[in-house]
């Protein structure tokens, strides 16, 4: 078959349409070079990259320690509360002793909520770290 289509208007041959040209670009000159440089520094574990990662880990640890301290404070305060208010130990809620409610039921939704809060904060710290690295 030839390169030209046959049976064009007037019985002559009509050239086939040429394919569109495509521009091939190896790298965008406008792309920030710092992203690549930062990624390379993190991979090579330079002193700057080690400090950035150390700061990220420290932030995650501080968040975990603060929320663990909150849990300890809340649950550690219960015995003190029962000691200071002895009448609470004899109170009932729906026929169940208040200490059993506070120690057997309340911790589960409270721990779930604090765990969820930690997860949200940890993901936020990770997004901030990635955003800082990509800048």
- State residue 94's pLDDT score: 86
Give residue-wise pLDDT tens across range 84-127. 888 887 888 888 888 888 888 888 999 999 999 999 999 999 98
- State residue 35's pLDDT score: 52
Range of lowest pLDDT (10-19, 65-74, 78-87, 93-102): 10-19
Domain boundaries, the chain: 32-134
pTM above 0.85, yes or no: no
Whether 57 contacts 65, CB under 8 Å: no
């Amino acid at each position: 078959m030839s390169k030209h289509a046959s049976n064009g208007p007037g019985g002559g041959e009509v050239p086939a349409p040429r394919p569109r040209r495509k521009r091939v670009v190896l790298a965008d000159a406008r792309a920030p070079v710092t992203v690549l440089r930062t990624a390379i520094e993190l991979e090579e574990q330079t002193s700057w990259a080690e400090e950035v990662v150390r700061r990220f880990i420290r932030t995650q640890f501080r968040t975990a320690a603060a929320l663990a301290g909150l849990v300890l404070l809340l649950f550690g305060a219960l015995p003190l509360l029962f000691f200071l208010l002895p009448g609470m130990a004899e109170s009932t809620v729906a026929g169940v002793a208040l200490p059993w409610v506070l120690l057997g039921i309340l911790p589960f939704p409270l721990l779930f909520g604090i765990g969820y809060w930690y997860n949200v904060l940890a993901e936020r710290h990770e997004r901030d770290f990635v955003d800082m690295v990509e800048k």
